[in-house]
Amino acid sequence: MANQAGQSRTEGIEVDAENQTRAQQQVTSAPSTDNVPPRGGFIDLHCHVLWGLDDGPRSPEESLDLCRTLVSDGVAVVAATCHQRGVFTRNRPDTIRRRAHELAEQLSLHQIPLEIHPSAEWLLDAQTVEQLSHLVPELLTLADRQKFALVEFPFQFPTYLSYVAETLAEHGLVGVLAHVEKYHQLLTNPGRLETLLDDGFVTQMNADSIAGRHGQAVMHACRSLIQRGLIHLVASDAHSVDRRPPMWSAAWDNVLRWTDPETAELLFRTNPQSLIAGTPPHLAKRMSWLDRFRKR
């Protein structure tokens, strides 16, 4: 029951099989230039790969299947993300660290070349925000590095973002807002996203939205936000091989087509690496209207 509740809350955007198939067809080829950086070496800082703790994999076998898919999709490092708060109040930092350690042992046993870091995604609903300062020590930071915190909000977008940013800063943390494109208010209003960046948030977009799994309208809005230089990093937010797959390669090809190799590199490798290292990420340059028009 808890799993179902979590899944319906975090989906946010409807997905259908037709869109998924169309997305897979849309992204089968990379742009044909000689300077295209190689696919691979991706760092996935948002991926529900641990079994039995949230609405991700239900067994070690499902976790391993997802890890194999990540590797074949070019991922080398993954932050094993686990929901905390909301309906997942029993997930404590040590629980997540232990399960990540167990998965790392399984990866070694099965010779799956994937580096894994325990991590979490905090649901900051009104009740949690009220107690946030008190709760922070019970919440696991991004890749367990005590520098960044992956956060999500109820989809009725809240008004307390500045307060959250200030409270996190008091604890030496910077908020990374998960899947910004799932909030209608941000997807359709770049100005609102700029305010959020001014508040000090780092912005993460999901690979499957970029790949078109949630439909053309969402994909085009994602393209616009990326081309305007409002997104710091891409991550999968994958939950399983079939229900919510990673789709890294598809997203990589689209971002290369929409922007340039430097921007793709920044969103898929450089900025995620910075967050793991505990250093600030950078935004890509904003493309001119003419360049955006040419790359529609």
Q: Contact region for Fe ion (CB under 5 A) — 94-102, 113-121, 180-188, 241-249?
A: 113-121
Q: Which residues contact 292 (CB under 8 A, 6 or more apart)?
A: 224, 227, 228
Q: Minimal distance in Å, beta carbon 208 to Fe ion?
A: 12
Nearest distance in Å: CB 288, Fe ion = 33
Q: Which of residues 209-248 bind Fe ion (CB under 5 A)?
A: 237
Q: Binding residues for Fe ion, how many (CB under 5 A)?
A: 2
C-alpha 93/C-alpha 90 separation (Å) is 10
Is there binding between residue 181 and Fe ion (CB under 5 A)?
A: no
Whose Cβ is closer to Fe ion: residue 128's or residue 263's? Answer: 128
Shortest distance (Å) from residue 48 CB to Fe ion: 6
Q: Out of 44, 54, 121, 260, name the contact with Fe ion by CB under 5 A.
A: 121
Q: Which is nearer to Fe ion, 179 or 223 (CB)?
A: 179
Residue number with CB closer to Fe ion (44 or 237):
237
CB of 257 to Fe ion, least distance (A): 26
C-alpha distances out from residue 259 to 85, 87, 170, 284, 295, Å: 36, 39, 36, 10, 7
- Residue whose C-alpha is closest to residue 221's, from 192, 264, 262, 248: 192
Q: Are 140 and 110 in contact (CB under 8 A)?
A: no
Distance CA 176, CA 165 (A): 10
Q: Which two tokens stand for residue 219?
A: 């994909």
Choose between 44 and 253: whose C-beta lies nearer to Fe ion.
44
Q: Are 247 and 23 in contact (CB under 8 A)?
A: yes
The contact set with Fe ion (CB under 5 A) reads: 121, 237
